[in-house]
Structure 1
């Protein structure tokens, strides 16, 4: 007999997933302790659990998995083969439909690309920025920059200059951070450039004083000057997503948290297994959060299946809390499928968002 922890370790399914499959009647433990409620699995169930994990990774729906496991245990190979073939046909049809839709989208994209101007501007722009303000803005967003080589347009920090404001933005799809620094000297049209991460880091290294610095954009080249030092280089020749559309979320429940205490709770609290994340192909640890009745944010214990819980990548959450650079931050909870927003109490111009992660079932 294997305990649920041993079963999770040997099968590749998480403890929470095993509990879910027990409740769904898909993989029921051989014995449950009537006093403690602890689950125990028989030797033959390890093979079934490994099969279940493979079928779920292949996207087979639970009703079909239930029949496959029933056929597997009864040696009904004909039933199992037919179910596998039927699911494979569904996947192939789905892939064919997806290819057709993607072909249409690519054609629309080509047409749209030909009718739109590039993100970069050929006009020369020069403005003055507070060194501490720009440093704080870069610190607030740097953690969210992408390292995925397949998405080079996200491998930098967007500098969005409009009026007297400079917004800096970074995203890797799973998280996004936005910050603002005040400027003077620019009264022209909106200008956007993507500063490569190494150049953004070089700029940040120059921002050690309290003085103002000069930021210049000339075509595809951006320069930061402070005193007799400068950091300069070419911008990325890509378009950045329209972040303004991405940050418009329905209002949620806002909770003020004490950051040091909450960080400690996240670091030491329970975690669950999440989906495999590209590009490194490793699963992530999830912190499952919910707002309690007394208005506090808690890290849910394994097995807490409250429908209002929100699961986020624990590492990303800790990075966002550190980047918030405040002893208190506001966590805004919308629907479990909506991003978790993290705001500073003293400004709405600097915030980050974490995409929720589907719990492994």
Structure 2
């Protein structure tokens, strides 16, 4: 229930971090004005800040000096902008009639209070399903989420598919032009747990990126336990003093297994940093990010692009290429750069079947596969794989 006498004092940085984090998940356009709100609850345990738009809920708790407990709501993005500009002094917030007054040093703001009569009830975090190292959670999600689609008319492609099999997690995303797969381990509450969940990629990525990089405590993933895994239709994340829920996508993720080549007719390894720089330069003459051509020979990789009114660019890099005399293939440069940016080794391994078939990008393993009797190379055993559709070569 809303209080008419809310009053508290809080450290500026603590307030700024809390409201900025909650405000990031609030929608820019709302059908109901009340959904613009950050709800602030002041009680004996400090302050709780919450936001909810029927899809994503966020909640964070911080310590504060609570003078008068109660519950108020203000425009979330506005209070976030204000607090980020305040001097580094304690912030005092109180309710004065229908106005929320904010004081910090010589600064004073009056904000309209948003009535909470129509504010929806926040969902409850499902039971914790397991925990994961925070840095691993952030990195694995970042590696996969960039490959997810952004077309809402194909909702099954806008998510990250999470497969849970005991201690193993598998994250997969695809937009039909590229595909990313990441295998990792976590600590489930039960070794027998199995589940398939389709989580909105945008929200999952925001969750992962907002995890404190210095956090040492595990991140808890919450989708229920036993027979109730996924039953609430919610995916929850609890990290330190923050928790979020997001509604799972009600769609069938495509079977990607047939897309993953088991053997390759040729493989190449290239140092990633010089390759990224060369792609950046050569792609300056591509028209509408159309394509960048790659010609692999035994010891050289030649990148080229353009050839019409935009001009032509070409650059040669050292590489190690095995399996045939040469391979010419073309890719969308943005998709190629995305894949290279999430590979953690100094060198990337390319695996090719044909110039018209998808290629794979992998972190360089300790040992490359040897050529088999039939002249092919097996896919190296790796935790991460990025598959990329080629662009059709002209003529």
Q: Does 1:194 align with 2:198?
A: yes
Name the counterpart of 2:95: none
Match of 2:385? 351
1:222 aligns with 2:235: yes
Alpha-carbon distance between aligned partners in 2 of 1:196 and 1:270, rounded to the nearest angstrom: 31
Are the equivalent residues in 1 in contact too, given 2:235–2:248 (CA < 8 A)?
yes
- Tell me: CA distance 1:358–1:307, structure 2 relative to 1, closer, same or farther (3 Å): farther
Instruction: Give the C-alpha shift of residue 129 in structure 1.
Output: 1.3
SS at match of 1:233: strand
Q: Deviations over 1:161-190 (max 9, x none)?
A: 112111111110000111122112242353
The residue aligned with 2:347 is 328
Aligned residues: 229
| Aligned-residue offset at 1:329 | 1.6
Cα separation, 2, equivalents of 1:356 and 1:140 = 20
* Partner residue in 1 for 2:290: 285
SS in 1 for 2:146: helix
Deviations 1:55-100 (A, max 9, x none): xxxxxxxxxxxxxxxxxxxxxxxxxxxxxxxxxxxxxxxxxxxxxx
Matched with 1:258 is 271
Q: CA deviation at 1:271?
A: 7.8
TM-score, structure 1 as length reference = 0.58
* Deviation for aligned residue 1:232: 1.0
Q: Which residue matches 2:328? A: 309
1:271/1:285 contact within 8 Å kept: no
Matched-pair contact (CA < 8 Å) for 1:162–1:190: yes
CA 248–125 in structure 1, closer or farther in 2 if over 3 Å, else same: farther
2:150 to 135, 144, 147: 147
CA distance in 1, matches of 2:262, 2:177: 16
Q: State whether residues 129 and 212 of structure 1, in contact with CA within 8 Å, keep that contact through their aligned partners in structure 2.
A: yes
C-alpha displacement of 1:137: 0.4
Question: Residues of 2 paired with 1:183 and 1:316: CA distance?
Answer: 29
**1:125 to partner: Cα distance:** 7.0
User: More strand per residue: 1 or 2?
Assistant: 2
Mark the runs of 5 or more structure 2 residues left unpaired by the alignment: 1-125, 224-229, 308-313, 315-324, 366-380
Q: State whether structure 2 residue 178 is matched by structure 1 residue 175.
A: yes
Q: Is the 8 A contact 1:270 1:299 kept in 2?
A: no
1:204 correspondence with 2:208: yes
Distance 1:187 1:142, change over 3 A: same
SS in structure 2 of the partner of residue 343 of structure 1? strand
Deviation at 1:259, TM superposition (A): 0.9
| Partner SS state of residue 162, structure 2 | strand
Distance 1:328 1:308 in 2: 19
Tell me the secondary structure at the aligned position of residue 309 of structure 1.
Answer: strand
In structure 1, what is the equivalent of residue 226 of structure 2?
A: none
Partner residue, 1:318:
337
What are the superposed Cα offsets for residues 4-29 of structure 1, whole Å, 9 maximum, x if unpaired? xxxxxxxxxxxxxxxxxxxxxxxxxx
Output the CA distance in 2 between the equivalents of 1:149 and 1:301: 32
Shift of 1:340: 1.7
The structure-2 alpha-carbon separation of the partners of 1:270 and 1:216, relative to structure 1 and needing over 3 Å to count, comes to closer
Q: Give the alignment of 1:109-124 within 5 angstroms.
A: none
Larger RCO: 1 or 2 (CA < 8 Å, sep 6+): 1
Deviation at 1:124, TM superposition (A): 7.1
SS of equivalent to 2:327: coil
Counting only pairs closer than 5 Å after superposition, residues 128-139 of structure 1 correspond to structure 2 as 128-139=131-142
Q: Is the 8 A contact 1:272 1:287 kept in 2?
A: no
Instruction: Kindly state the Cα deviation for residue 160 of structure 1 after the two structures are TM-superposed.
Output: 1.2
